[in-house]
Structure 1
């Protein structure tokens, strides 16, 4: 009944978003177009569609050939304005996902700014300005016109069954999918049939100018976070280990399912997405850890949680020696990764050249 009471609000919110999009489409509300490669990675729903692993995929693809920067609003940070993220930044100052990316790719410029236009202007004004900027969670941020719009949609949460916020999970009408250049169906099973592909293409209202890709999540080898930890490959059998999974991410069910395959003794400590762990949370985690059954106790968390969990120096030595990170990456299905890579590299290469030509012409005029 409470959920049903949100339906009128959903109608109002949907109407407001439709009017807003209509004003941008008619150019009554202005959008800024930059002369450098800007790639937006976003979604049309709230909740986890895998933005950070897909952003990291793009960073890996581009960083060997181009100067790459990322720009995020820095969700839940306690600061304002434009900031360059450093590996030693406080998670409360910059947000968990930007700090995660910076720690994994120290040579990449990672920045946060709630005003994306101002943030992009700051980045392109840097002495070592980026060749390409990856905009995080910017599909609805229409003040910027990205050169390439990448939209992520969760395979397991069909849009046909969904509604506009707050009654459902949709941020705007599914018709707005037309703004995307590339659509990626994320979190797919390892294999999908041609019939399923055609059904999904119809469900996301794919237009001829849009390219559709499918990805799945791949969980990597557990690795110790603290120096006290031993590499997991020293332990050949995890089936009788006591495992505590600690995570505060959107849609944790996929990680839970994976970890439960590792052992018959698994407990969980689940928190809201982007949750800043308190001292009381750490005490609860320690209690659960010491109650674990099994031949050896270990604690597993994600890379995103790691930057929030480890800001407290409250873990005992034996917990630190048993503290492991579960890396998550994306994999394109049916060898489509090469086609996706080619499209991204071509877009960045061509537009980088155009910008350099524009800069040279501007200097010549001076």
Structure 2
């Protein structure tokens, strides 16, 4: 154990004791969990951020929104408002959070999107605001135990799986590994597919030590779409790039771009970073430093929703800004099995509620 980890060990123990006590209160029924008649599915993780929850929510929406009336409910991390809000065309990242705004922009014709810190209070408000809903997808609610979902999907990254991570502040876990036992589905995200058979076997065996018997384990990766101009859709992405991100881990994105482009510099901000005029000036100065290469700025969809502010974009008026879309891909056969399990949950819950 490194010295830094040794020094943090007592704090991790105290944090673990506090989260274990809270979970035990729910397990014993001393704290109550609320279930709802409408089917509810939680997508979450044991670690702090960076597991790809938003792309996975979008994956479910792309495959289910044509068959079901769906709603997405999240806390709206990073927003400047509080309480329940139903997204509409007047909403922006400041009102509903950048990830909720991204989902709303993509799926608003088919899906209702809402935010609310207290999910138990927000669910009935969502139903009252939207009318009939076939299922609600709850983003980042694995630790929100006041709500009892019908299906829990636990995400964990290939590069830092929960079974080899440690509790905060030693590691990135919000609660101990044994709480993976609440999961009904586990998805290992951000894999390079297909995984070698021995590696997949090792991950399955490591995860199975913590989950209930029979819980399915799936593997997913990321695919990147064609970059598009933030202001001019027909522009072509040039050879030289400045990468600007406000995400937990930009390394997979950098690896993808480096296949066909030269990334001159990476300007990595903190997750959910709210860009300021000073940030944009610094970005412009970085571009000026590499002026001889005539670079373009490239960012993520998550960052782009915050950069669309006209005041901010005016600082970059003479620079090409591109956005790289990302989507979840599933290992062979996993997609069909996972979606069948989700559809079965929705159908069974609706049948039970109507009976």
Global fold match (TM > 0.5): yes
Give aligned pairs, total: 350
Deviation at 1:130, TM superposition (A): 1.7
User: In the aligned structure 2, how far is the partner of 1:320 from the partner of 1:183?
Assistant: 45
User: In the aligned structure 1, how far is the partner of 2:240 from the partner of 2:94?
Assistant: 31
> Which residue of structure 2 lines up, in the alignment, with residue 182 of structure 1?
185
User: In the aligned structure 1, how far is the partner of 2:162 from the partner of 2:247?
Assistant: 21
User: In the aligned structure 1, how far is the partner of 2:291 from the partner of 2:333?
Assistant: 42
**Residues 257 and 263, structure 2, Cα contact 8 Å, conserved in 1:** no
Superposition pairs of residues 299-338 of structure 1, within 5 angstroms: 299-316=297-314, 319=317, 322-338=320-336
**Residues 142 and 154, structure 2, Cα contact 8 Å, conserved in 1:** yes
**Higher mean Cα deviation, 250-259 or 268-277?**
250-259
Q: Indicate how the Cα distance of structure 1 residues 197 and 23 shifts in structure 2: closer, same or farther if over 3 A, else same.
A: same
**Higher mean Cα deviation, 317-326 or 215-224?**
317-326
User: In the aligned structure 1, how far is the partner of 2:316 from the partner of 2:33?
Assistant: 54
Q: Indicate how the Cα distance of structure 1 residues 90 and 194 shifts in structure 2: closer, same or farther if over 3 A, else same.
A: same
> Which residue of structure 2 lines up, in the alignment, with residue 346 of structure 1?
344
Q: Indicate how the Cα distance of structure 1 residues 314 and 97 shifts in structure 2: closer, same or farther if over 3 A, else same.
A: closer
Where structure 2 has 5 or more consecutive residues not aligned to the other structure, the ranges are: none
Matched, 1:116 2:119: yes
User: In the aligned structure 1, how far is the partner of 2:108 from the partner of 2:290?
Assistant: 36
- Name the Cα RMSD after superposition: 1.9
- Alignment partner for residue 145 of structure 1, among 132, 145, 148? 148
> Which residue of structure 1 lines up, in the alignment, with residue 38 of structure 2?
36
> Which residue of structure 1 lines up, in the alignment, with residue 203 of structure 2?
200
Q: Indicate how the Cα distance of structure 1 residues 94 and 265 shifts in structure 2: closer, same or farther if over 3 A, else same.
A: closer
User: In the aligned structure 2, how far is the partner of 1:18 from the partner of 1:216?
Assistant: 32
**Residues 267 and 292, structure 1, Cα contact 8 Å, conserved in 2:** no
- Alignment partner for residue 126 of structure 1, among 117, 123, 129? 129
Matched, 1:156 2:159: yes
**Residues 229 and 321, structure 1, Cα contact 8 Å, conserved in 2:** no
> Which residue of structure 1 lines up, in the alignment, with residue 28 of structure 2?
26
* 3-state SS of paired residue (2:299): strand
**Higher mean Cα deviation, 113-122 or 14-23?**
14-23
**Residues 191 and 333, structure 1, Cα contact 8 Å, conserved in 2:** yes
* 3-state SS of paired residue (1:284): helix
Deviation at 1:316, TM superposition (A): 4.7
User: In the aligned structure 2, how far is the partner of 1:255 from the partner of 1:127?
Assistant: 36
**Residues 276 and 312, structure 2, Cα contact 8 Å, conserved in 1:** no
* 3-state SS of paired residue (1:125): helix
Deviation at 1:319, TM superposition (A): 4.6
Where structure 1 has 5 or more consecutive residues not aligned to the other structure, the ranges are: 359-366
> Which residue of structure 2 lines up, in the alignment, with residue 230 of structure 1?
234
TM-score if structure 2 supplies the norm length? 0.93
User: In the aligned structure 2, how far is the partner of 1:111 from the partner of 1:34?
Assistant: 17
**Residues 86 and 99, structure 1, Cα contact 8 Å, conserved in 2:** no
- Alignment partner for residue 81 of structure 1, among 61, 71, 83? 83
Q: Indicate how the Cα distance of structure 1 residues 127 and 168 shifts in structure 2: closer, same or farther if over 3 A, else same.
A: closer
* 3-state SS of paired residue (2:123): helix
TM-score if structure 1 supplies the norm length? 0.90
**Residues 98 and 305, structure 2, Cα contact 8 Å, conserved in 1:** yes
Deviation at 1:351, TM superposition (A): 1.9
User: In the aligned structure 2, how far is the partner of 1:322 from the partner of 1:331?
Assistant: 29
> Which residue of structure 1 lines up, in the alignment, with residue 217 of structure 2?
212
User: In the aligned structure 2, how far is the partner of 1:175 from the partner of 1:309?
Assistant: 40
User: In the aligned structure 1, how far is the partner of 2:318 from the partner of 2:125?
Assistant: 39
**Residues 37 and 132, structure 1, Cα contact 8 Å, conserved in 2:** yes
Give CA-to-partner distance per residue, 1:61-97, whole Å, 9 cap, x none: 1111111101111112111110011244131221110
> Which residue of structure 2 lines up, in the alignment, with residue 266 of structure 1?
264
